[in-house]
């Protein structure tokens, strides 16, 4: 179902060489960044692109997980990202 605004949890995985970003609910929606500011920007860009293509292709868009239910490793943080389509 198409919506105006989507909100999904993103996982920021911190390593010595940067931040890997992925969305547990959006298979294949990944990105990376050098710092937190860039990570928020890149996460929004990746999510927006993934959802736009899914809408155009009339694919099922999964329901977002609750932030409290997202499992994390010690070097990871979960954030909520939103995008207007």
The angle subtended at Cα 44 by Cα 39 and Cα 45, nearest 5°, is 95
Distance of alpha carbon 48 from alpha carbon 50, whole angstroms: 6
CATH of the domain at 12: 3.30.160.250
- β-pairing, 18-22 with 5-15? antiparallel
CB 10, CB 83: distance < 8 Å:
no
Mean pLDDT of the chain: 96
pTM of the model: 0.92
Q: Is residue 83 part of a domain?
A: no
Q: For the chain, give the longest Cα–Cα distance.
A: 39
Q: Is residue 52 part of a domain?
A: yes
Task: For residue range 11-49, list pLDDT tens digits in order.
Answer: 999 999 999 999 999 999 999 999 999 999 999 999 999
Supply the range of the domain harboring residue 56.
Answer: 5-70
Structure tokens at 17: 């060489």
Q: Is residue 18 part of a domain?
A: yes
Number of domains in the chain: 1
């Amino acid at each position: 179902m198409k919506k105006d605004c989507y909100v999904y949890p993103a996982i920021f995985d911190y390593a010595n060489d940067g931040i890997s970003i992925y969305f547990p609910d959006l298979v294949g929606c990944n990105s990376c960044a050098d710092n937190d500011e860039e990570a928020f920007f890149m996460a929004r860009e990746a999510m927006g692109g993934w959802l736009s293509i899914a809408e155009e292709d009339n694919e099922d868009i999964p329901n977002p997980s609750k932030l409290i239910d997202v499992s994390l490793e010690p070097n990871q943080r979960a954030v909520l990202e939103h995008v207007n389509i």
